[in-house]
A and B are shown apart, each in its own frame.
Chain A
């Protein structure tokens, strides 16, 4: 069964304190792994798509990496405005192959 597990559940950082969020997955035939940011009371905002192991994507203070078992979202020198819930999802080959399987997210708080 396709599954996504994110850790930690919650993370509190000081401004400037770099860290990484983890997304472990099992999926039959990975077609894509996706990272999203969700602010309270809003829909998820797309960040990155990763397709194959070894791939990396970068945007401002965020960098996403992918292996065959997990993905990391690295946050370098975070700012308070990076506070949000970060969601990871995968899309596999099984069944309805446009369906996304979601993790529970990591709630990130960055203190000034």
Chain B
């Protein structure tokens, strides 16, 4: 498997401020990390794929200027929610996936998640 550490586990911020969430791969050099958002009783929604040393790839409908992703090293990716508003309140989770062997898929390993509340 892989061990992923996410920080903070919860944060409350005022509307209009920015919040940074860190995702660290502790035992695996991750060239790619994934950021998800999860609403209550909903499944995981992929927001973006974070690529080490290059720009992140955002899913359709996700504002890249709103959700800034930086993947400066093989063990750290950060998600910054800029000018946060109450509608950005959600559960944010990062994951790493090793490259599958041949054509086989590879499982994802997740951080603990960050509960963001914007007031």
Given contacts A31-B103, A34-B108, A43-B112, contact A100 B43 (CB under 8 A): no
CB-defined contacts of A31 to chain B, threshold 8 Å: 100, 103-105
Number of B positions contacting A (CB below 8 A):
29
- Select which of B99, B105, B112 is within 8 A of A49 by beta carbon: B105
| Interface residues, chain A, with chain B CB atoms under 8 Å away | 30-32, 34, 41-46, 49, 51, 87, 89, 91, 93, 96, 98-100, 102-105, 107
- Select which of B4, B43, B115 is within 8 A of A105 by beta carbon: B43
| 23 residue pairs bridging A and B, Cβ less than 8 Å apart | A31-B100, A32-B100, A34-B107, A41-B113, A42-B112, A43-B4, A43-B110, A43-B112, A44-B93, A46-B109, A49-B105, A49-B107, A87-B43, A87-B44, A91-B105, A93-B103, A96-B57, A98-B32, A98-B106, A99-B46, A99-B49, A100-B46, A102-B44
Interface secondary structure of A, over-half rule: loop
CB-defined contacts of A103 to chain B, threshold 8 Å: 43
- Select which of A32, A43, A100, A105 is within 8 A of B6 by beta carbon: A43
CB-defined contacts of A44 to chain B, threshold 8 Å: 44, 93, 108, 110
User: What's the minimum C-beta distance from A6 to chain B, rounded to whole angstroms?
Assistant: 9
Distance between Cα atoms of A99 and B113 in the complex (Å): 19
B1 at the interface (CB under 8 A from A): yes
CB-defined contacts of B111 to chain A, threshold 8 Å: 43
CB-defined contacts of B43 to chain A, threshold 8 Å: 87, 102-105
The total number of A-B Cβ pairs within 8 Å is 67
User: What's the minimum C-beta distance from B77 to chain A, rounded to whole angstroms?
Assistant: 14
Decide if A46 touches B107 in the complex (CB within 8 Å).
yes
Decide if B108 touches A100 in the complex (CB within 8 Å).
yes
CB-defined contacts of A46 to chain B, threshold 8 Å: 1, 107-110
B54 at the interface (CB under 8 A from A): no
